[in-house]
Amino acid sequence: MKQIVFTATSARQWAKLSSDVRRRIDRRLTEFAASGHGDVKRLEGRDGTRLRVGDWRVIFYEDQEAIVVAAVGHRRDIYDREDFMSVRFQKTPKGEVAIFPRKDYEILVAKASEADEDAGTARIVARAREELAGGAPALPKDIVDRMANGENHVRVLREWRDITQMHLSFKTNLSPSYISDIENGRRTGTAAALRLIANELKVPLDLLVQEG
């Protein structure tokens, strides 16, 4: 079974999903990682694959050892919205004006929508590859799941990096009690403090910020 890893961008998206949606997607994604089968669309001549779970999408690419999740979300939100076709029918005294009958036109729009998803998939994967090539972390799925389930992001990422609170304190000049307070939810941490921690953990700053 291939390992599943997330970019920082897709990890944030994963954490924003409801627990029910995460479970549905998790089941399908894990099945694909184990068997290589599922409701997937592999791009032809371009890099990228998308897993379909109803109207939800997982955009990813694969290497020999891992499935790298580049984005996850609802199909209406996950792509660049400006790239999708906006259709308007105009009524005239002779009826609605359309080049094709509505049924044929809707078939054409469906095909265009699929092509738009293909193009969006390719762009997302290209950005993810660029992000990781620039030194951004690839986060294991169990780490992303811990953060999505509400565990403190600083603690989870510190433990993933195998760094003690004392070592983090030494490297950031923040007191151990201050770091402990952040990890236990007694403090949120200032932007400056979180930036020091993010730099030491080698993760994007906004990955340390917990919503809600």
The domain 151-207 having CATH identifier 3.20.20.10: the answer here is no
Residue intervals in the chain for CATH 1.10.260.40:
151-207
3-80+117-141 homologous superfamily: RelE-like (3.30.2310.20)
Looking at residue 167, its pLDDT comes to: 97
Return the pLDDT at 84: 43
Q: How far apart are CA 19 and CA 38, in angstroms?
A: 21
Listed as ranges, residues in the chain with pLDDT below 70 are: 80-90, 97-112, 212
Looking at residue 45, its pLDDT comes to 85
Q: What is the pLDDT of residue 72?
A: 97
Residue range 151-177, pLDDT digits in tens:
999 999 999 999 999 999 999 999 999
CA gap 125, 104 in Å, rounded: 32
DSSP string, 101-145: -HHHHHHHHHHHHHHHHHHHHHHHHHHHHHHHHTT---EEHHHHH
Q: Is the pTM of this model over 0.85?
A: no
User: What DSSP string runs through 40-72?
Assistant: EEEPSSSS-EEEEETTEEEEEEE-SSEEEEEEE
pLDDT, residue 108, reads 58
Strand 40-42 and strand 49-53: pairing? Answer: antiparallel
